[in-house]
Amino acid sequence: MTDIKEILFSEEEIREKCIELGKKISSDYDGEIVVVGILKGAVPFMAELIKRIENPVVMDFMDVSSYAGSTTSGEVRILKDLEFRIEGRDVLIVEDIIDTGLTLSYLIEILKKRGAKSIEICTFLTKTARRRKNVDVKYVGYEVEDYFVVGYGMDYNEKYRNLPYIGILDESVYK
């Protein structure tokens, strides 16, 4: 596709990484895990990851949006909340990519108040150089430089989420 400047992670590399992460998660947990996907970007990753987790898994989703004009606070509006109570349960949040960390740090504060037994994060990508709020991320697929990436759930104006690989978006698309 001409909108993609360079492919960073192929379908095969992504698959291998999900197997590796699933193994780690399976050996770290005893019993059931409530796996929470952050809509919509985490959907392809979550679908592949949970197939590699050997523990019983309960799937749930959250959808959040940052308040316009308050991007510095990282305060988020919950558009869709969890279906299940998480009190006393092991929660694993699944994200496509962590950028500034603002969204996730705010979300974690909210979820902590609900009394989960544990809350951990699994993200496919992380842009550590852009972090503004520190978040403890236990499971990371890959670290990437400050490119704008799309595919495998990640979008630009809602496009490209369906690409089976992850690529750098060509600047001509947004300039």
- Which of the ranges 7-15, 49-57, 79-87, 96-104 carries the binding residues for ligand IMP, by CB under 6 A? 96-104
Q: Give the CA count within 13 Å in the CB-facing half-sphere of 61.
A: 11
Q: Could you tell me how many residues of this chain bind ligand IMP (CB under 6 A)?
A: 15
30 assigned to active site: no
When asked if residue 163 is in the footprint of ligand IMP (CB under 6 A), the reply is: no
Q: Which of residues 15-54 bind ligand IMP (CB under 6 A)?
A: 41
- DSSP bridge partners of 139: 122
Q: Is 52 helix (H, G, I), strand (E, B) or coil?
A: coil
Q: Which of residues 23-62 bind Mg ion (CB under 5 A)?
A: 38, 41
Q: How far apart are CA 138 and CA 102, in angstroms?
A: 17
Q: How far apart are CA 80 and CA 33, in angstroms?
A: 20
What is the contact mask toward ligand IMP in residues 105 to 144, using x (rule: CB under 6 A)? ----------------------------------------
The DSSP bridge pattern shows strands 57-66 and 33-38 to be parallel
Length of the chain: 175
Where does this chain bind ligand IMP (CB under 6 A)? 41, 95-104, 148-150, 154
